[in-house]
Amino acid sequence: MAATRTPQPVLLEPQGPVITAIACTVGAGLFLGAGGVCVYLAARTVADLRATGSGWAVVGIGLVLVAGFVAAVGASTVVSARAERRATLRLASHGVDATALVLAVASAPPTNDDHYQVRLRMRVSGPGFEPFDHSGDVLGYLFGGAAQGTVLPARVDPATRTFTLGSPPAPPAPRPGDARG
* pLDDT band (50, 70, 90) for residue 38: confident
Compute the average pLDDT of residues 15-44: 90
Q: What is the DSSP annotation of 10-61?
A: EE-----HHHHHHHHHHHHHHHHHHHHHHHHHHHHHHHHHHHH-HHHHHHHH
Residue 1 has pLDDT above 60, yes or no: no
Compute the average pLDDT of residues 165-171: 75
The Cα–Cα gap between 80 and 98 comes to 26
Residue 28 has pLDDT above 90, yes or no: yes
Q: What was the pLDDT predicted at 171?
A: 67
Q: In percent, how much of the chain has pLDDT > 70?
A: 88
Ranking 5-9, 12-16, 33-37 by mean pLDDT, the lowest is 5-9
Q: What was the pLDDT predicted at 116?
A: 82
Select the more confidently predicted residue: 4 or 35: 35
* pLDDT band (50, 70, 90) for residue 150: confident
Q: What was the pLDDT predicted at 2?
A: 55
Q: What was the pLDDT predicted at 60?
A: 78
pLDDT digits 0-9 by tens, 43-102: 887 777 666 666 677 777 888 889 899 999 999 999 999 999 999 999 999 989 999 999
Residue 172 has pLDDT above 60, yes or no: yes
Q: How many helices (H) and strands (E) does the chain have?
A: 3, 6
Q: What was the pLDDT predicted at 170?
A: 67
The Cα–Cα gap between 38 and 50 comes to 20
What does DSSP assign to residue 74? H
The Cα–Cα gap between 91 and 95 comes to 5
Three-class secondary structure of residue 4 per DSSP: coil
Distances 168 to 100, 153, 154 between C-alpha atoms, Å: 10, 8, 10
pLDDT digits 0-9 by tens, 122-133: 999 999 889 999
The Cα–Cα gap between 113 and 8 comes to 27
